[in-house]
Chains A and B, each alone.
Chain A
Amino acid sequence: MAENYLNVYKFENGAYTQISENADMTNPIFANIDGSAGGSIIKKYYLRNIDEDYFYINVNLKPMPEISVQSGNLLGLELRLLSGDSEPTSTEWDTVASGNSLISTSDYLSASPKRWYFPELVSKNASGTAIGADNNYYPFWVKWTVPPRSNVTDITSIYFELSATENYKTW
């Protein structure tokens, strides 16, 4: 049974707070945008494995429903994701299309552009053997964009699907 120790957090007032899950709206990834002018909101979040006995590979974080099937009040909404500690530049945002996923890679050091990836959440030795969990917070950025003259609305039907292959420790 999946233990689901991989979570998303925000950092506010000096503390990390877990983003709520499964349609619980107590602490969602949130944006509030002026619909008359349209525009973008960019916010920083973190991915973290909280358990020392599990590690995660094949991580995939993706906005849902997929852009291609969005309808109704989701039409025109754009959602982009990039990783990294510093806020991405507009040029960097232009490297991804709306609805993109952030995925983990086993070769994060040579990944390019790094903004598209997370490292796999496991510590390895020089020969590539897993030797421990990786419990670091990995920052990423969410960019919401709505076009001008968007209708006033309150959207909770959108979510981010976080999937990964969960492994119990081998060390």
Chain B
Amino acid sequence: MSKRISAHLVIRYPRKSRKLTNTDRDILSGSQKPNLPKKYSGDTTLNAMTVEEEKDKLPDTIFTSLSEIKEGYTAIKQYGANLISLLADNLRGKALEFRITPSQIPEWEALNATFKNHKGLINYDMYITLQSYRAGLVKELSKVT
């Protein structure tokens, strides 16, 4: 007899943190717009091409995280999970949080574990950049269902 025993390795980066500044709080409350790099200011889409185009201009850590976002988006499409919403965290968690409805798909547990592991990968320094992707990402993800 011969069989394949499943294995799964996640390599993550620890969450970075710093104290919130007044500017952070203003951005959080919506009273001030984030000072986004010009390139990202009007960008409301996230797709493989966007990430690929931008990767050379971004620090490695940011690219890694954008890559993770892209991967998550791809995974949702691939598994066909019903999406309720995608929430950017409130800066206290300094992480993007994915919320998906289990739809009784066999892969749900693995997918859920994957997203739990993604939580915390994105730190505050990446948050501002990611904000410009958020609206487009939600829009794109809503098309999945």
Chain A residues with a Cβ under 8 A of chain B: 2-4, 6, 8, 19-36, 56, 61, 63-64, 77, 144, 146, 150-156, 158-166
Q: Does B26 contact A (CB under 8 A)?
A: no
B5 to chain A, nearest CB (A): 4
Q: Does B2 contact A (CB under 8 A)?
A: yes
Taking a contact as CB atoms under 8 Å apart, the answer to whether A21 and B7 are in contact is: no
Taking a contact as CB atoms under 8 Å apart, the answer to whether B11 and A35 are in contact is: yes
Chain B residues with a Cβ under 8 A of chain A: 1-14, 64-65, 67-68, 71, 106-107, 109-110, 113-114, 117, 121
List the B side residues contacting A4 at CB < 8 Å. Answer: 1, 3
Taking a contact as CB atoms under 8 Å apart, the answer to whether A25 and B8 are in contact is: yes
List the A side residues contacting B5 at CB < 8 Å. Answer: 8, 19-21, 28-29, 61, 159-162
Q: What are 11 contact pairs spanning A and B, CB under 8 A? A: A4-B1, A21-B5, A23-B6, A146-B11, A150-B11, A152-B64, A155-B9, A156-B6, A156-B7, A156-B110, A164-B1
Taking a contact as CB atoms under 8 Å apart, the answer to whether A34 and B13 are in contact is: yes
B96 to chain A, nearest CB (A): 14
The residue on B at minimum CB distance from A77 is B9
List the B side residues contacting A27 at CB < 8 Å. Answer: 6, 109
Give CA–CA (A34, B71) in the complex, Å. Answer: 19
Beyond the given A19-B6, A25-B113, A158-B9, please list 12 additional residue pairs across the A-B interface where CB-CB is below 8 A: A2-B1, A2-B2, A20-B5, A23-B6, A28-B110, A31-B8, A63-B7, A152-B13, A152-B65, A154-B11, A155-B10, A156-B110
Mostly, the B contact residues are mixed
Give CA–CA (A34, B113) in the complex, Å. Answer: 16
B76 to chain A, nearest CB (A): 14
**Which of A29, A152, A154, A166 is within 8 Å of B114, CB to CB?**
A154
Q: A151-B64, A152-B121, A154-B117 are in contact. Are A161 and B4 (CB under 8 A)?
A: yes
Give CA–CA (A37, B58) in the complex, Å. Answer: 22
Mostly, the A contact residues are strand
B106 to chain A, nearest CB (A): 8
**Which of B6, B10, B68 is within 8 Å of A32, CB to CB?**
B10
Taking a contact as CB atoms under 8 Å apart, the answer to whether B13 and A30 are in contact is: no
The residue on B at minimum CB distance from A54 is B1
A44 to chain B, nearest CB (A): 14
Give CA–CA (A26, B11) in the complex, Å. Answer: 18
Give CA–CA (A136, B126) in the complex, Å. Answer: 51
List the B side residues contacting A152 at CB < 8 Å. Answer: 11-13, 64-65, 67-68, 121
Taking a contact as CB atoms under 8 Å apart, the answer to whether B11 and A153 are in contact is: yes
List the B side residues contacting A64 at CB < 8 Å. Answer: 4
Give CA–CA (A165, B2) in the complex, Å. Answer: 9
Taking a contact as CB atoms under 8 Å apart, the answer to whether A160 and B14 are in contact is: no
B67 to chain A, nearest CB (A): 8
B121 to chain A, nearest CB (A): 6
A149 to chain B, nearest CB (A): 10
Give CA–CA (A10, B127) in the complex, Å. Answer: 38
Give CA–CA (A35, B14) in the complex, Å. Answer: 8
